[in-house]
Structure 1
Amino acid sequence: MAKLQDILYKVHLTQVHGSTAVEVKDIQIDSRHVSAGSVFVAIRGAASDGHRFIYNAVEAGAVAIVCEEMPEVMSDGVTYLQTSNTHESVAYMAHQFYGEPSLKMKLVGVTGTNGKTTIATLLFKLFTQLGYTCGLVSTVQNQIGDKIIPATHTTPDAVSLNALLKQMYDEGCTHVFMECSSHAIHQHRITGLQFTGALFSNITHDHLDYHKTFDEYIRVKKSFFDHLPATAFAVSNADDKRGEVMLQNTHAKKYFYSLKTLAAFKGKILENALTGLVMLVNDQEVHFRLIGEFNAYNLLAVYGAAMCLGEDKEKVLVKLSMLTGAEGRFDYIISGGLIIGIVDYAHTPDALENVLTTIRKLRKGHEQIITVVGCGGDRDKTKRPMMAQSACDLSDKVIFTSDNPRTEDASQILRDMEEGLSSAAKRKYISIVDRREAIKTAVSFANEDDIVLVAGKGHEKYQDIGGVKHPFDDKQVLKEMFELLNK
């Protein structure tokens, strides 16, 4: 329980009707979860507007309503608070209600288009190995020490996130590593949190269905660093052309990592093979279990953050050398027939290009690369032909298939991918809507030593068709097809 007036710190109110001295037992943004003593915050979302449910919340026992538009009829005994932005207000309220948990732990946020999950997961694993109790907030899963909590969004809503951070603190966490998506930044889900540090991986074409323009997407990512305090550190990728732009207005202490130029955290790839990476990290030679240039960048970001958090260089590099990445990120298996299967979450043109470029560099001779790829429905349509062209340019054979079609027609998504393909690309692909059948066909095309890449869904254990999530695991299906082949 808390007094309403005590959780309104930093909330800009334009109008108050009723007493702010009332006790509130919880904060709700879904009227269906309101009960006696709740404060209901009316949020305008993409699917619905919480203002339509203010009456329902009052009927369910809400003692206070926070809204952008005051209702025409106000109930006696209920406090109504008007604010210009309820997304921002609920974030500040939740942070206060749950006792400002981010101030009590070292909270590190990771943003960028690709690499967020791997960087956050590696930091979690590294600091756990260094002896700390850690929390993880990621696309794949949320974790408190050894306890796994399934993730529904890259970054939870502000109320759920602060509740989770409080739980992490209560269970002894000293460090929390969190992915910060552009949606979460824009929707104020992380507003009010005190970050010890922040990392930038890279920025490429993604989420334009939401942000509309690439400039707006960049602006939102950059705003995360703009709001960091002077006590924080900011670590950015000097080799990304927007790596410096991200930090140009930050108050935080600036650091850069790089494979190509001078930087505080400098790396050089000595060897890149299916057995892992051999790198110089600030003149120290290290063998890592992770594969590919993109993971070299991820490792440098993690190393940089660990140095900023005051850890010992030797210990950090020893522990990092033993770690594996996040599930569904360059996750590979080898069949009995010696076909290599790789499952990766690559769902942007740049991520797909990175994975395929890495595979091409790892080839010893003339092994075929056979790629299975689709594009998600109800998402940025402009990247569909770009992903299709990249797949064809960098593979020997390509099968276009359904990803998560959601409410779109899967066949139409494939037609969008096919649109504008070059003449050379058109000779390389076939389309098979059924994803299981597509993976089966790819495996049937493969000979010994060939590489089958299944891209787009990575760690996901479902396929969203028509708004219904059907069980589907790319890695499991690939294993099944390998087993069939070997019978």
Structure 2
Amino acid sequence: MNTVAGDTGVTINELHFDSRKVKLNDVFVAIRGSVSDGHEFIKKAENQGALAIVCEEMPEERINGITYIEVEDSKKALAYMAANYYDNPSENLKLVGVTGTNGKTTIATLLYNLFQKAGFKVGLLSTVKVMVGDEEFEAIRTTPDSLTINYYLKKMNDAGVEFCFMEVSSHGIDQHRTTGLRFVGGIFTNLSHDHLDYHKDFAEYRDVKKRFFDELPAAAFALTNIDDKNGAVMLQNTRAKKYTYALKSYADYKAQILENQFTGLLLKVDDQEIWSKLIGNFNAYNVLAIYATAQLLGLETLEILQIISELNSVNGRFQYTISEKEKITAIVDYAHTPDALKNVLETINSIRTKNEELITVVGCGGDRDKTKRPKMGHIASALSTKVVFTSDNPRTEDPEQIIKDVEAGVEPQNFKKTMSVTNRKDAIKAACQLAGKNDIILIAGKGHETYQEVNGKKLDFDDFKIVNELLKQLDK
């Protein structure tokens, strides 16, 4: 039961959970975060003119004229308040959420591109960027806070957006950032080892993802990858209409890979052949998810197939360049989980003729799940001909210690394949120097990111730009 002290009939100005932004007649929502507790800043918000305070614990000293509301969960309260404050914008468009460990950005972005090409006004909330029709905004995190989400959804309403595709992370679900939103559909991609620095164990990580589907309304659709052993779990308690997609199992939407090359994929989707510029088995799943979603949202089959064949890969997702003289292929990919790295390396190995070397540059992020580091080292060294271990986003950790954690997973027979170069640019340079004619370089972990995070600072760093420059120098 909520406890109220003061008048709830007052007219407020803005909502904030950051006390620094509070001005006269605003509401301050005190949220307990992993770094700081908003309850410590209630006094500051009062001094700055807050008219109402929403908190999980009533302050001992309360000021006359300020309304205090004690709630069980501030994050949940903020989500409902944010939706109401912006007139429940998710109800005025068709919002589809994409969740899973890998593939969220690719699926959400390509759905945005597909529906835009089909002539609709579309919105996108992704790791890489936020799009309101044609207008682009910088993304802060995979699933923004509930205030930011509703702010952009309201902008989409004002711009006449009909469809919005949104990445939904486990953090976002767990912290109620998506609470109070009305989704017309949810897509589950896959589940593998990630974010176990945040979730206690894999079961909790899985169950948080499942909660997204549990909360979908009966009128929505729930589309799941049934080839993933967790795919069926997502549908167990959902009220939404259930649909499945697969390459290997019986499913509502089925695809078969006919050709898999560096230039793209030839797929048979529901007895129709389709060529996609996307590369690799994992992208066959992404294409199938996009196809199924577009059908469930009412687009015509032939139009969907035609547009899919025109779609290009997403920045930092199997993004490749080939040097002019030596014909060295450099691939930049966001693969930062063991499963994603394995998928990318297996895809390259299934396409290459084995006459070429496969040189992998990889590291792991600091202040994140440490248990995946040796797994990354094991996979990189087992599936590549040469590996350069390097720094990723070390954040507040020692990059050399992170590399040692990664190296711990290398089996004795693979030691000779590996080397360590802490400076990431030097590591990419070393890979370029190791590469001979027609060889393949994979630079994994950062993908679309144009920075490196070191001790609280974001330094300019773009894997794709750097490898292009280095390959051009080699070609001289």
Matched residue, 1:245: 233
Q: What are the superposed Cα offsets for residues 428-447 of structure 1, whole Å, 9 maximum, x if unpaired?
A: 10000000000000000001
Question: CA offset at residue 112 of structure 1?
Answer: 0.1
Question: CA offset at residue 305 of structure 1?
Answer: 0.7
Q: What are the superposed Cα offsets for residues 221-255 of structure 1, whole Å, 9 maximum, x if unpaired?
A: 00000000100001000100110111111000000
Tell me how far apart the structure 1 counterparts of residues 289 and 189 of structure 2 sit (CA, whole Å). 7
Matched residue, 1:480: 469
Matched residue, 2:346: 357
Question: CA offset at residue 263 of structure 1?
Answer: 1.1
Tell me how far apart the structure 2 counterparts of residues 14 and 100 of structure 1 sit (CA, whole Å). 22
Checking the alignment, whether the CA contact within 8 Å between 1:121 and 1:325 is kept in structure 2 is: no
Q: What are the superposed Cα offsets for residues 88-128 of structure 1, whole Å, 9 maximum, x if unpaired?
A: 00000000010000000000000000000000001000000
1:279 aligns with 2:241: no
Question: CA offset at residue 144 of structure 1?
Answer: 1.1
- Three-state SS of the structure 1 residue aligned to 2:448 is coil
1:441 aligns with 2:430: yes
Question: CA offset at residue 420 of structure 1?
Answer: 4.0
- Three-state SS of the structure 2 residue aligned to 1:178 is strand
The letter of the residue matching 2:380 is: A
Checking the alignment, whether the CA contact within 8 Å between 1:269 and 1:277 is kept in structure 2 is: yes
Please, which runs of 5 or more residues in structure 2 have no aligned partner?
Answer: none
Q: What are the superposed Cα offsets for residues 143-172 of structure 1, whole Å, 9 maximum, x if unpaired?
A: 112211010100110111111110111111
The letter of the residue matching 1:412 is: Q
Equivalent positions of 1:63-462 (< 5 A) are: 63-336=51-324, 337-462=326-451
Checking the alignment, whether the CA contact within 8 Å between 1:234 and 1:247 is kept in structure 2 is: yes
Question: CA offset at residue 450 of structure 1?
Answer: 0.5
Of 458, 464, 468, the match for 1:469: 458
Tell me how far apart the structure 2 counterparts of residues 363 and 394 of structure 1 sit (CA, whole Å). 12
Tell me how far apart the structure 1 counterparts of residues 249 and 372 of structure 2 sit (CA, whole Å). 30
Tell me how far apart the structure 1 counterparts of residues 414 and 47 of structure 2 sit (CA, whole Å). 60
Q: What are the superposed Cα offsets for residues 305-356 of structure 1, whole Å, 9 maximum, x if unpaired?
A: 1111111011011001110121100000001220000000000000000000
Q: What are the superposed Cα offsets for residues 417-467 of structure 1, whole Å, 9 maximum, x if unpaired?
A: 111421112121000000000000000000111000000000000000111
The letter of the residue matching 2:360 is: T
- Superposition RMSD in Å: 0.7
- Three-state SS of the structure 1 residue aligned to 2:102 is coil
How many residues were matched structurally?
475
Checking the alignment, whether the CA contact within 8 Å between 1:156 and 1:189 is kept in structure 2 is: yes
Q: What are the superposed Cα offsets for residues 240-278 of structure 1, whole Å, 9 maximum, x if unpaired?
A: 011011111100000000111221111000000011100
Checking the alignment, whether the CA contact within 8 Å between 1:140 and 1:150 is kept in structure 2 is: yes
Checking the alignment, whether the CA contact within 8 Å between 2:376 and 2:409 is kept in structure 1 is: no
The letter of the residue matching 2:441 is: V
Tell me how far apart the structure 2 counterparts of residues 172 and 368 of structure 1 sit (CA, whole Å). 50
The letter of the residue matching 1:249 is: N
Tell me how far apart the structure 2 counterparts of residues 425 and 70 of structure 1 sit (CA, whole Å). 59
Tell me how far apart the structure 2 counterparts of residues 420 and 39 of structure 1 sit (CA, whole Å). 50
Tell me how far apart the structure 1 counterparts of residues 386 and 445 of structure 2 sit (CA, whole Å). 17
- Three-state SS of the structure 1 residue aligned to 2:347 is helix
- Three-state SS of the structure 2 residue aligned to 1:23 is coil
The letter of the residue matching 1:335 is: S
Please, which runs of 5 or more residues in structure 1 have no aligned partner?
Answer: 1-12
1:29 aligns with 2:17: yes
The letter of the residue matching 1:379 is: R
Checking the alignment, whether the CA contact within 8 Å between 1:17 and 1:79 is kept in structure 2 is: yes
Runs of 4+ in 1 over 2 A off after TM superposition: none
- Three-state SS of the structure 1 residue aligned to 2:218 is coil
Tell me how far apart the structure 2 counterparts of residues 59 and 403 of structure 1 sit (CA, whole Å). 42
The letter of the residue matching 2:122 is: C
Tell me how far apart the structure 1 counterparts of residues 303 and 365 of structure 2 sit (CA, whole Å). 41
Instruction: Tell me the TM-score normalized by structure 1.
Output: 0.97
The letter of the residue matching 1:351 is: A
Q: What are the superposed Cα offsets for residues 31-73 of structure 1, whole Å, 9 maximum, x if unpaired?
A: 0000011100000001100000001101111100000000000
Task: Judge which range, 372-381 or 320-329, deviates more.
Answer: 320-329
Checking the alignment, whether the CA contact within 8 Å between 1:200 and 1:236 is kept in structure 2 is: yes
Question: CA offset at residue 366 of structure 1?
Answer: 1.4
Checking the alignment, whether the CA contact within 8 Å between 2:335 and 2:344 is kept in structure 1 is: yes
Tell me how far apart the structure 1 counterparts of residues 11 and 91 of structure 2 sit (CA, whole Å). 24
Task: Judge which range, 278-287 or 418-427, deviates more.
Answer: 418-427
Matched residue, 2:5: 17
Tell me how far apart the structure 2 counterparts of residues 310 and 420 of structure 1 sit (CA, whole Å). 47
Question: CA offset at residue 483 of structure 1?
Answer: 1.1
Tell me how far apart the structure 2 counterparts of residues 144 and 373 of structure 1 sit (CA, whole Å). 34
Tell me how far apart the structure 2 counterparts of residues 141 and 259 of structure 1 sit (CA, whole Å). 30
The letter of the residue matching 2:437 is: E
The letter of the residue matching 2:377 is: A
- Three-state SS of the structure 2 residue aligned to 1:161 is helix
Checking the alignment, whether the CA contact within 8 Å between 1:139 and 1:151 is kept in structure 2 is: yes
